[in-house]
Amino acid sequence: DTTGGGPAADADPVNPAAAPVARQAFRRMIPPGPVRSRDLDGAGAHTPRHFQIHRPRIGYPQAVFTGFPGAFDHLAAIGRANQGRPPAAWVVPDMPDPDADLLEIRVLVQAPRFDPAGGDAGFTLLYRTTRAFPALVDPAAPAVLDLTLDWVDCARLSDIAWPMDGGLPGAGPVVVPRGRNVRVLVRALGRADPGYFGSEAARLGSPGELWPGTVTVPLSPEPPLFAPTTDQERLASVFLQPEVPRAAETAVAAAQPGATKLMVTRLAAATGLVAEDGTLYGVPGRRTVFGCAGLKHHLAPDGGALTLTSPVELEQVWLNLVRLRLDRDWSWTGLSSPAVTVSR
């Protein structure tokens, strides 16, 4: 302090002014640090279930500014103890962050490739919930939250009433779906006190993963794969007549550009699909995956479109369409490739 201490708070100003004293709100602008997690099942466990989550740490002088009782004495004791140790054995003077009262938990599932709903690496948020850290009463005591994951079976994600984020901390195990590529992200949250934190961003800690990468726990047991359908729904056989009667064919008629693409349009109309420029799609609002054998074709990388590259092959042959309705949502990953084989 270059002023040698400065004037006392109750001293009269030497130079009077209209407003010689101003108030400045003291708010926290530094967000909580990352939480530390420990997998109690072991890093190689196929089904991780039990974790210990530690409050983020906060050091000097930030810990003193939190106003937590005994914070300064605790950090000073660590500093004095370090004086008798070699530098390699020094202990970081810090303590659990008393302002990080909550743990935010986000459960993400991986969507198919090219899905616009997928974010980072194709993952989309399933739900968000929070858990309260145990109350911090001693800066030297560990502040640990025991977190349990409950892996549940569900053919479709819509079959489960996932927790709703109502603003209050939840309780009990965190529900996680089986049969999906899952990530669980956690981070500390500061208490909801706008007068204490300088911004909403200052309340949000650094996100981290409960485990590296993704985990997939198979459904047990696997329910029936396909939804019940009638025989008429499962198999459609179409016989397309030529676009131009054989007796009336001429060189001019045969050379009309795009004439053969009409065959694809007729096939789509007969089978409840959508045709555009010689390519078949599913109806809007329903995700469709195609497979094809016996016809020259090209499949989109995600299987969502089928282009028949030689539409003349569609004339005067029986075209058999097998239609199966998958009783799963599109985050399900229970099959390898090839997933389904259709045989006579």
Query: Tens of pLDDT along 190-228?
Result: 988 888 999 999 999 999 999 888 888 888 888 888 888
Q: Is residue 337 included in any domain, yes or no? A: no
Counting the structural domains of the chain, the total is: 2
Do residue 174 and residue 47 come from a single domain? Answer: yes
**Higher pLDDT among residues 304 and 18, named by residue:** 304
- Residues 232 and 322 sit within 8 Å (Cβ to Cβ): no
Taken in order 206, 212, 213, 219, the sign of the CA dihedral is negative
**Higher pLDDT among residues 21 and 132, named by residue:** 132
**Could you give the CA distance from residue 110 to residue 214 in angstroms, rounded to a whole number?**
9
Judge whether residue 169 has pLDDT over 60.
yes
Q: Is residue 181 included in any domain, yes or no? A: yes
Band of the pLDDT at 8, cuts 50, 70, 90? confident
Most confident of 4-13, 15-24, 149-158: 149-158
Do residue 204 and residue 237 come from a single domain? Answer: no
Q: Is residue 281 included in any domain, yes or no? A: yes
Do residue 250 and residue 186 come from a single domain? Answer: no
Q: Is residue 301 included in any domain, yes or no? A: yes
- Full residue range of the structural domain in which residue 144 is found: 36-56+97-209
* Phi, psi (degrees; rounded to nearest 5) at 190: -75, 160
Determine the pLDDT at residue 249: 52
Share of the chain above pLDDT 70, in %: 91
Q: Is residue 342 included in any domain, yes or no? A: no
Determine the pLDDT at residue 257: 47
CA neighbor of 238 nearest in space, from 337, 154, 183, 317 = 317
Do residue 256 and residue 138 come from a single domain? Answer: no
From the CA atom positions of the chain, what is the Rg in Å? 32
Quote the pTM value. 0.79
Q: Is residue 263 helix, strand or coil?
A: helix
Do residue 204 and residue 300 come from a single domain? Answer: no
Do residue 200 and residue 267 come from a single domain? Answer: no
Do residue 244 and residue 286 come from a single domain? Answer: yes
Do residue 158 and residue 282 come from a single domain? Answer: no
Do residue 118 and residue 192 come from a single domain? Answer: yes
Do residue 237 and residue 177 come from a single domain? Answer: no
Determine the pLDDT at residue 255: 47
* Lowest-pLDDT range of 34-43, 128-137, 244-253: 244-253
Q: Is residue 199 included in any domain, yes or no? A: yes
Do residue 189 and residue 242 come from a single domain? Answer: no
Judge whether residue 45 has pLDDT over 70.
no
Classify the phi-psi angles of 172: left when phi > 0, otherwise alpha if psi is within -120 to 50, otherwise beta. left
Do residue 189 and residue 47 come from a single domain? Answer: yes
**Could you give the CA distance from residue 41 to residue 258 in angstroms, rounded to a whole number?**
63
| b (16+ CB within 10 A) / e for 271-300 | eebebeebbbbbeeeeeebbeeeeeebeee
Q: In this structure, what is the dihedral angle of CA atoms 193, 194, 200, 202, given to the nearest 10 degrees?
A: -70
